[in-house]
Copies of this chain bind each other. A is one copy, B any other.
């Protein structure tokens, strides 16, 4: 089994923290995004989505997308559950992980991918080139403060993002808060609940091991 990885980028970091929390070790292969190695024909044959991380099983099956990889490992190693235990918890983790991804990570990516010089023709992840959009970068910049505010509100009544237990929803929210620094955004002073939660989860050994 091999995990194709680029630990500097936010999406691989989500999986790396998840694996560290569960204590799972996997052989790694670096795909250098700065060199656009994710677009190499050999890699693209394995992963037509042309992104990292990607997990190659011993039978040759290739599973990409964070959701794909974490669900594989959660089912294979159910101890230390990070996707919820009961049906209710599982539903809440998926819900809040999705909201953190859509309104956090993707909103920040709207700014980053549409303004960074190195992404001039790479505004969308995947095999196809699309030009940057100034309008989309502007929209992203308006969305990020709302992400912080909405999650601050959620954390007023909940110890963790999905409820009273730590989960993959916390991992994606934390990685989004750190990814926001790439666009010079940070958790506002007035978001005290989110800031306290951020400080708390940042202290976890699995998070510290994957900065």
Contacts and interface: CB of A to CB of B under 8 A. Distances in A.
B49 A99 contact: yes
Interface stretch (A25-33, A69-77, A181-189, A200-208): A69-77
Given A67-B95, A135-B135, A72 B90 contact: yes
A64 interface: yes
Range for the number of chain A residues in contact with chain B: 35 or more
Interface in A72-94: 72-76, 83-84, 86-88, 90-94
A96 to B, nearest CB: 8
A63 B103 contact: no
A91 B103 contact: no
A48 interface: yes
Given A99-B65, A126-B103, A133-B139, A72 B48 contact: no
Contact of A143 (B72, B93, B96, B124): B124
Interface in A169-195: none
28 contacts: A48-B153, A49-B95, A55-B91, A59-B88, A61-B91, A61-B92, A63-B95, A64-B95, A65-B94, A67-B67, A67-B97, A68-B91, A71-B90, A71-B91, A71-B93, A72-B91, A74-B90, A75-B87, A75-B91, A76-B87, A124-B143, A127-B150, A128-B143, A130-B142, A130-B143, A131-B139, A133-B133, A133-B136
